[in-house]
A and B are shown apart, each in its own frame.
Chain A
Amino acid sequence: MTERTIPKKPAPAPDFTALIAGVRLRNPVIAASGTFGYAREYEGLLDIAGLGGICTKGLTLAARPGNQGRRLHETPSGLMNSIGLENPGIPAFIERELPRLRTLGPAVIANLSGSTVEEYVEGARLLDASEVDMIELNISCPNVKAGGMAFGLDSAAAASVTGPVRKAAPHKPLMVKLSPNAPDLAAVARSCVNAGADALSLVNTFKALAIDIRARKPVFGNISAGLSGPAIRPIAVRMVWELWEVVKVPLVGMGGIACAEDALEFLLAGAVAVQVGSATFAHPPAMTEIIAGIGEYMKEQDLHCLGELSIR
């Protein structure tokens, strides 16, 4: 016995386009800064061309050697790092890495870091004149002695760097990457937006400490280090949820995303896109699977564009 059904019109493929401050991403999944090098390192291990965007390693005006000693420590469901912004400097990045990055397809987001406002501003000028699609202003690196996270901990300090960088890079969309270590994250977020941020990304790593009980001293030379990975995800989701009520600019969520379900939590909480970091270390094709999984969820929920994901 056969039952005849009228064949349903095939549902149109969900519109995956994510829009962040005028930058159009083919999908909402971005490789997080510091975890994807300059992309070519991962060639062959996942579909790089299929990513929405790529954030570069944290870049400073001049080359930096990074921190001495131990740089990594694994924790339950997480990873502590103390790399210390090792990078070739912005001019070398623009000359040697950017031309190749541009050819890959995903939006190129330059993560800008520094120790002083002057250093940030000079770097922003160079990036403004380059071919990057967007600047992610890093005021949240917990692993450098000067600057870095210090700019992200209170609203006055955040404005003191966001404003001048905004002026120095008038042609590029500016996204500020926030630190979860700020005692009043809402105040820092408001301050960044008032100083000209077009978008906010959150969260960078949590300041954390591990002790080597055999050596009877801290694992890291800088004592503390930054914690990422699935362990921090629920806290990061809560922070995105709360900031959605505080600011009106697009939020890019991150923190421990390892699968599509994790990414969807951020998108439902109001983020317009997500970044995936240490999960790529643990499982290189993670982002490719996350992109596919978000699409499947949208079909299953009969959602037609990314904006419909948000429950806010």
Chain B
Amino acid sequence: MDALPSGFFAKRSILCECTSSSFAAGNIIALQFAWSGPAPRGGQFFLIKPWRSGVFLARPLSVAGWEPRGGPEDGGILRFLAARRGRGTWELADLRAGEEAELSGPLGKPFEAASFPKGPLALVGGGIGIAPLLALAVELGSRPFDFYAGFRSTSFGLESLKARSLAIATEDGCEGLKGRIPDFFSPQGYEAVFACGPLPLLRAVGDACIAGGIPCFLSMEKHMACGVGACLGCTVKTTGGNKRCCADGPVFRAEEIIFDD
């Protein structure tokens, strides 16, 4: 039997209390939950379903932040950003402090920034895609990193970010640079790049990094059912064949991904 990486089994399904729900911007809601399960890493996600729910499946949300309460067994506060898109995410956005939701996780593979200990790192996010990068940023601690964030109109979620530099671009020019964030990003000078956001962003950032020979990791998004690698519904096409976004990812090396949609 092949050995599983440590922590592979460290996931739980727990009915949790929503401790805070607040408007972030546009259709984005910031949610917090009291979590008593294993600590998550940046890039991992949870399946979340309000206890009172009219949809069938839970929704996968990337961890945007994690505040441990004490020791590793003591749990803490999980933070998420949810974009209202369909009925499921509307329900999440309608959660109020004190209400309960079932959370299953932490799921998927995290960003492995520890493998790149030398130079500065770049984190490139678009819209709700900044969420897992915010969690990664906290893990980086005092390591130097630059954060590139693109939005449609107004920024959100960046309040407590401690980046060496922060570049913001908005498509309508309301804030920061006018345009899309990949247009203002070059991977030169970075030891590694971590990105999450819409497919065109991932593709542009990935291509630039591959061309420049800079290691690049992309967090992919797919429709999911089980979230744990059992149903094979969230396939990502890679150079190594079909992979499961939820269990083999959601973080993949840029050169693995075949963008054909």
B231 interfacial by beta-carbon distance below 8 Å? yes
Q: A74 touching B55 by the CB < 8 A rule?
A: yes
Contacts of A66 in B (CB 8 A): 232, 235, 242
Contacts of A75 in B (CB 8 A): 56
Q: A57 touching B49 by the CB < 8 A rule?
A: no
Q: B235 touching A41 by the CB < 8 A rule?
A: no
Q: A230 touching B56 by the CB < 8 A rule?
A: yes
A110 interfacial by beta-carbon distance below 8 Å? no
User: In A6-61, which residues have CB < 8 Å from any B CB?
Assistant: 34-37, 40-46, 57
Q: List 8 A-B contacts (CB under 8 A).
A: A37-B231, A73-B223, A79-B57, A86-B235, A86-B242, A281-B231, A283-B13, A284-B13
A42 in contact with B230 given A79-B225, A281-B225, A284-B104 (CB within 8 Å): yes
Q: A71 touching B228 by the CB < 8 A rule?
A: no
B59 nearest in chain A by CB position? A74
How many residue pairs at the A-B interface have CB separations less than 8 Å? 100
Q: B233 touching A81 by the CB < 8 A rule?
A: yes
Contacts of B230 in A (CB 8 A): 35-37, 41-42, 280
* Partner among A43, A77, A86, A99 whose Cβ is within 8 Å of the Cβ of B9: A43
A77 nearest in chain B by CB position? B56
In the complex, how many angstroms separate the beta carbon of A155 from the nearest chain B beta carbon?
31
Contacts of B232 in A (CB 8 A): 34, 37, 57, 66, 71, 83, 86
Query: How many A residues touch the partner, as a band?
Result: 35 or more
Q: B242 touching A281 by the CB < 8 A rule?
A: no
Contacts of A41 in B (CB 8 A): 226, 228-230, 247
Q: What separation, in Å, do the CA atoms of A35 and B2 have in the docked complex?
A: 23
Q: B13 touching A46 by the CB < 8 A rule?
A: yes
A83 in contact with B104 given A65-B242, A282-B49, A284-B13 (CB within 8 Å): no
A65 in contact with B11 given A37-B229, A57-B232, A77-B56 (CB within 8 Å): no
B242 nearest in chain A by CB position? A65
A229 in contact with B231 given A44-B10, A72-B224, A79-B225 (CB within 8 Å): no
Residues 40-56 of chain B, each 1 if its beta carbon lies under 8 Å from chain A, else 0: 00000000010000011
Contacts of B9 in A (CB 8 A): 43-44
B234 interfacial by beta-carbon distance below 8 Å? yes
In the complex, how many angstroms separate the beta carbon of A240 from the nearest chain B beta carbon?
22
In the complex, how many angstroms separate the beta carbon of B96 from the nearest chain A beta carbon?
21
Q: What separation, in Å, do the CA atoms of A40 and B58 have in the docked complex?
A: 20
Q: A72 touching B102 by the CB < 8 A rule?
A: no
Contacts of A278 in B (CB 8 A): 56, 225
* Partner among A40, A44, A86 whose Cβ is within 8 Å of the Cβ of B12: A44
Which of A40, A100, A282, A285 has the most chain B CB atoms inside 10 A of its CB? Answer: A282
Q: B1 touching A74 by the CB < 8 A rule?
A: no
Q: A70 touching B56 by the CB < 8 A rule?
A: no
A293 interfacial by beta-carbon distance below 8 Å? no
User: In A77-133, which residues have CB < 8 Å from any B CB?
Assistant: 77-79, 81, 83, 86, 96, 99-100
Q: What separation, in Å, do the CA atoms of A11 and B15 have in the docked complex?
A: 32
User: In B7-26, which residues have CB < 8 Å from any A CB?
Assistant: 8-13
Q: B56 touching A79 by the CB < 8 A rule?
A: yes
Contacts of B12 in A (CB 8 A): 44-45
B12 nearest in chain A by CB position? A44
Q: B102 touching A283 by the CB < 8 A rule?
A: yes
B11 nearest in chain A by CB position? A44
A278 nearest in chain B by CB position? B225
Q: What separation, in Å, do the CA atoms of A75 and B227 have in the docked complex?
A: 18
Q: What separation, in Å, do the CA atoms of A92 and B161 have in the docked complex?
A: 47
Q: What separation, in Å, do the CA atoms of A139 and B216 have in the docked complex?
A: 44
Contacts of A81 in B (CB 8 A): 225, 231, 233
Q: A281 touching B226 by the CB < 8 A rule?
A: yes
Q: B10 touching A34 by the CB < 8 A rule?
A: no
Residues 213-227 of chain B, each 1 if its beta carbon lies under 8 Å from chain A, else 0: 000000000011111
Extra pairs beyond A72-B234, A81-B233, A285-B13 (5, CB < 8 Å): A41-B228, A44-B11, A66-B235, A230-B56, A281-B57
Contacts of B231 in A (CB 8 A): 34-35, 37, 72, 81, 83, 281
A229 in contact with B56 given A44-B9, A71-B235, A72-B233 (CB within 8 Å): yes
Contacts of B224 in A (CB 8 A): 72
Contacts of B49 in A (CB 8 A): 282-283
A34 nearest in chain B by CB position? B231
User: In B147-172, which residues have CB < 8 Å from any A CB?
Assistant: none
Q: A70 touching B228 by the CB < 8 A rule?
A: no
Contacts of B10 in A (CB 8 A): 44
Residues 230-270 of chain A, each 1 if its beta carbon lies under 8 Å from chain B, else 0: 10000000000000000000000000000000000000000
